[in-house]
A and B are shown apart, each in its own frame.
Chain A
């Protein structure tokens, strides 16, 4: 922990602290006013309540804050995504919608809200033969399950809505429940295309559940805990004073991060794995019979899922709310978490702007023949890494060499074997 920049953190919180002096004590970055600022706000709002009521109001407040924050992020992400993809395609993207009835455009910042109003005012169609209850419940359940996953992500040093010992397990259990909602949507529409698409979506989601989970197991193995706060705290040190001890900077962690990221792309229905709802090929997959606000809810759930998985990737591999360098600790922990989250989300968008969609057979082949074996081997690498944690001196080099071989070797070998005869592709008539 750096103490050199402590005054910065302390001064910046001076104005706030003047009224709250007894509540806080600026001891270090971990306890500075800025760091505890969200907690102070919360205490200000609920401190007057009697003790038995306070915890339940606090929990409800946390739910509201997380929901509102991510709903706003969803609105801005849709715009950011359109802008980023447009820039990649040499267009400026949406930049006209500003404040209504004025000429103020704000670079198109009003677009998501205009879209929201449009979605709300659209007619809500339900097919005559559809199961009305399930048809209504599917988007609600999907959104509910997606929000559940936000409960265990540590957004900052003191900011985790629910402290669970089995947080990682809970996260993936809640995430897997979204598959039920997807099938509900397909089944309740009473449309054979919806049903088929839901089955395909299910096949994809279940296939990628496996590499997603297997790429997380090494983290649990090395960290020795299923608690997300515990995992983040294990990553809070620096090798040689500058290299953060994040899992992504170890051979197995890097491989695990990539595996997790690819599987997360598929789990979140993101391009290039967006087959369930391939907007340029299918009508809308399992969303065919949905319109208006229910359709918007599905989209919201997709973005929530993307945010939750990115948040989990940040927590597991990118050091959570830890600052990358000691002297950068003046930025509060939740600021670092937000920065890392946004960077990962930008990565999702970058990938969407770059790669064409996979075919369903390529998709499942990638999961079962490539990602799952690599994830299993990665588990072995992580086991080796944690067994050799006490090696020092030249043995340290040996440890890195063995781990790197275990990561790169299977990747190259398996890649060659799988792409034998298919790559590099030549274009004879192009």
Chain B
């Protein structure tokens, strides 16, 4: 009959209207500044530097200022100067680590080439600033975040990295103890396999 289609349409909109008050599927808006959606684990935007202890971020940086990431970075947005002591001996940590996120293209190549798992991708996206140059050039202090934070944003990946680092540390310790043992001992005895971390 004429008009039944109109009534069906009215029923659909009424269902949407009533549903929007109790059914989350019918009111999907996330009201952003107050609410945020949960980011997917693999979401990434810009790199950050990992430190091991939250209390002493710059003292426990994993970065050794080897400058591999600086040379590999396609848009060349990383600038590193190594720390040296009074005699000019390298201290294996960065004095300057600047990263220009207005240039960075989030390609993650720095993360992949880093042999020390010292640089990882961040998920912090509220990075709007009022200036275009100085404000988007992040320095060492701004870039450093703790390993605990890394575990929070990328749990799976961080666990794998920790396991890898523990394995390396164990192997190094074993090698050192083997070297420290007297050479008289039969070298045919291989060191015990490192315990699974």
B2 touches A354 (CB 8 A): no
A415 touches B20 (CB 8 A): no
B127 close to A (CB within 8 Å): no
B16 touches A90 (CB 8 A): yes
B14 touches A87 (CB 8 A): no
A92 touches B2 (CB 8 A): no
Say which residue of A87, A95, A424 sits within 8 Å of B16 (CB atoms): A87
A contact residues, total (Cβ < 8 Å): 21
A416 touches B9 (CB 8 A): no
Instruction: State which size class the interface on B falls in.
Output: 10 to 19
A88 touches B1 (CB 8 A): no
B173 close to A (CB within 8 Å): no
Chain A contacts for B20, CB-based, 8 A: 87-88, 90, 92
A405 close to B (CB within 8 Å): no
Mark each residue of chain B from 10 to 37: 1 if its CB lies under 8 Å from any CB of chain A, else 0: 1011101100110000111101000000
Determine the distance from Cα of A416 to Cα of B1 in the docked complex, in whole angstroms: 8
Chain A contacts for B5, CB-based, 8 A: 423-424
A287 close to B (CB within 8 Å): no
A84 touches B2 (CB 8 A): no
For chain A residues 323-356, which have a beta carbon within 8 Å of chain B?
Answer: 350-351, 353-355
For chain A residues 404-418, which have a beta carbon within 8 Å of chain B?
Answer: 411-412, 415-416, 418
For chain A residues 349-390, which have a beta carbon within 8 Å of chain B?
Answer: 350-351, 353-355
B28 touches A90 (CB 8 A): yes
Chain A contacts for B17, CB-based, 8 A: 84, 87-88, 350, 353
Q: A350-B14, A351-B10, A415-B3 are in contact. List 16 more A-B contacts (CB 8 A).
A: A87-B20, A87-B27, A88-B13, A90-B26, A90-B27, A92-B20, A92-B29, A92-B31, A95-B31, A353-B17, A354-B10, A354-B12, A411-B2, A412-B1, A415-B1, A424-B5
* Nearest 9 A/B pairs, CB to CB: A415-B2, A354-B13, A87-B20, A88-B13, A87-B17, A88-B16, A88-B17, A354-B9, A90-B26
**Which residue numbers of A lie inside 8 Å of B, CB to CB?**
84, 87-92, 95, 350-351, 353-355, 411-412, 415-416, 418-419, 423-424
The 22 listed contacts between A and B (C-beta, < 8 Å) are: A87-B16, A87-B21, A87-B27, A89-B16, A90-B26, A90-B27, A90-B29, A91-B27, A92-B27, A92-B29, A92-B31, A95-B31, A351-B10, A354-B10, A354-B13, A355-B6, A411-B2, A412-B2, A415-B1, A415-B2, A418-B2, A424-B5
